[in-house]
Amino acid sequence: MEIDDLDRQVTHALRINGRAGYREIGTVLGVSDQTVARRYHRLRAEAGVRVVGLPNPIELGYETWLLRVRAAPDAAVQIAGALARRADTGWVSITSGGTEIACNVRVPASADRETLLLQKLPRTPRVISVSAHCVVHQFVGGAVGPDLHDDALTAEQIAALTIEKGDNRSAARLTTADAPLLAALAWDGRLSYAELAATTGWPESTTRRRVQELFESGSLYTDVETKSELYGFRAPVLLWLTVSPSRLAAVGAALREHEEVVFAAATTGPTNVLALANCRDMPAFYRYLTEKLGSLDGVERIESEPLLRNVKQLGTVR
């Protein structure tokens, strides 16, 4: 499949507002709603494009933990699959060598961390070691907002699609009654209100009102899953950085402006920054490493791990 400029615009629009209607997107892009719908269904079928709706851990006060799990070579895929099926994992990847699994876990701040993070890991002697790093500040990606990989839209187009947050951000908080709604949006963030109503058992008017207030309050956000290689990015690499504490904020601000970086956060642990860079190829990654990342003042050490396989990107595993 070849991705053209309009495909990139539609994908970028969905990253800004995954719930935007075809007519709304078409108006911004200057094409018909039928054209947008046709492109979206093609991207969904052939390019792995999937919009998911997710709880915003920052607004909800959740903790995000990053796990590094070392496993025996013949057990990594099985263990990664078990982690991917957990509802509290956001993404799960197998990195270089095929023996290390990286994933993130989101938990309420009041939760029993030891039970959630360690005792619920797959119980197998094939797990060699586990380290857990708590995210203390996120610089780019996910709930913080789209990265700079998407550059198909103008600033005016982005503004037109951006959901305006309400004045009372605490008015809509997630409750246990929202569980069926969250499960449906994690499967497909573009389900219609009628489809969501059928899932929740609520009247369609109630479903519409609840979805809108959760997104407008910031309790929910949308993200987009893709096959990045079809968009020209074939070299995803996890970067574990050791940064001088006095330079942590400055390095994070710099990473936010790097178009190669799709996620970056400050963490606890022996390394204190995790970033995910996705470059067009390994020579491009080399240039990024030597010309941009390596020259940042305060970066003392860089550990890089190419991603071999994304077992889970976003939402519910299909």
pLDDT per position as a tens digit, 35-72:
999 999 999 999 999 999 999 988 888 889 999 999 98
Q: What whole-number distance in Å separates Cα of residue 124 and Cα of residue 102?
A: 17
Q: How much is the pLDDT for 39?
A: 97
In a domain, 303, yes or no: yes
Average pLDDT over residues 26-38: 97
Average pLDDT over residues 187-197: 96
257 phi/psi in degrees, rounded to 5: -95, 0
pLDDT at 74 over 90: no
In a domain, 272, yes or no: yes
Q: How much is the pLDDT for 57?
A: 87
Which residue, 265, 262, 261, 242, is CA-closest to 252? 265
Percent above pLDDT 90 for the chain: 70
Q: How far apart are the first and last CA of the chain?
A: 21
pLDDT at 169 over 80: no
Average pLDDT over residues 267-292: 96
- DSSP class of residue 53 equals E
Q: How much is the pLDDT for 119?
A: 59
Confidence of residue 120 (pLDDT cuts 50, 70, 90): low
Q: What whole-number distance in Å separates Cα of residue 63 and Cα of residue 113?
A: 10
pLDDT at 170 over 60: no
- Domain of residue 279, residue span: 229-307
In a domain, 262, yes or no: yes
Q: How much is the pLDDT for 127?
A: 86
In a domain, 168, yes or no: no
In a domain, 175, yes or no: no
Q: What whole-number distance in Å separates Cα of residue 24 and Cα of residue 37?
A: 11
Q: How much is the pLDDT for 118?
A: 58
Average pLDDT over residues 106-117: 68
- DSSP class of residue 151 equals -
Q: Which residues contact 195 (CB under 8 A, 6 or more apart)?
A: 184
In a domain, 277, yes or no: yes
Q: How much is the pLDDT for 60?
A: 83
Q: How many residues does the chain have?
A: 318
Q: How much is the pLDDT for 274?
A: 97
pLDDT at 318 over 90: no
pLDDT at 140 over 70: yes
Radius of gyration of the chain (CA): 20
In a domain, 288, yes or no: yes
Average pLDDT over residues 146-151: 78
For the segment 212-224, what is each residue's pLDDT rounded down to a tens digit? 999 999 899 999 9
pLDDT at 168 over 60: no
Mean of per-residue pLDDT scores for the chain: 90
Token pair for 178: 């929202």
In a domain, 161, yes or no: no
For the segment 238-258, what is each residue's pLDDT rounded down to a tens digit? 999 999 999 999 999 999 999
Q: What whole-number distance in Å separates Cα of residue 97 and Cα of residue 100?
A: 7
Q: What whole-number distance in Å separates Cα of residue 295 and Cα of residue 283?
A: 17
Q: How much is the pLDDT for 291?
A: 95
Structural domains of the chain, count: 1
What pTM was estimated for this model as a whole? 0.87
| 74 and 122 Cβ atoms separated by less than 8 Å | no
Confidence of residue 201 (pLDDT cuts 50, 70, 90): very high
Ranges of beta strands (E only) in the chain are 50-55, 62-71, 89-95, 100-108, 127-140, 220-225, 235-243, 261-267, 273-279, 299-312
List, as one string, the DSSP characters of 62-115: EEEEEEEEEE-TTTHHHHHHHHHTSTTEEEEEEEGGGSEEEEEEEEETTS-HHI
Q: How much is the pLDDT for 106?
A: 87
Q: How much is the pLDDT for 115?
A: 61
Token pair for 312: 């889970």
Token pair for 37: 């719908």
Instruction: Tell me the torsion sign for CA atoms 249, 255, 257, 261.
Output: negative
Q: How far is CA 11 from the centre of its chain?
A: 15
Average pLDDT over residues 12-33: 96
Q: How much is the pLDDT for 126?
A: 83
* CATH label of the domain that carries residue 260: 3.30.70.920
Q: Which residues contact 159 (CB under 8 A, 6 or more apart)?
A: none
| 261 and 253 Cβ atoms separated by less than 8 Å | no
Q: Which residues contact 131 (CB under 8 A, 6 or more apart)?
A: 67, 68, 269
Question: Helix or strand or coil: residue 288?
Answer: helix
Token pair for 113: 């961390």
Average pLDDT over residues 17-22: 96
Average pLDDT over residues 8-17: 95
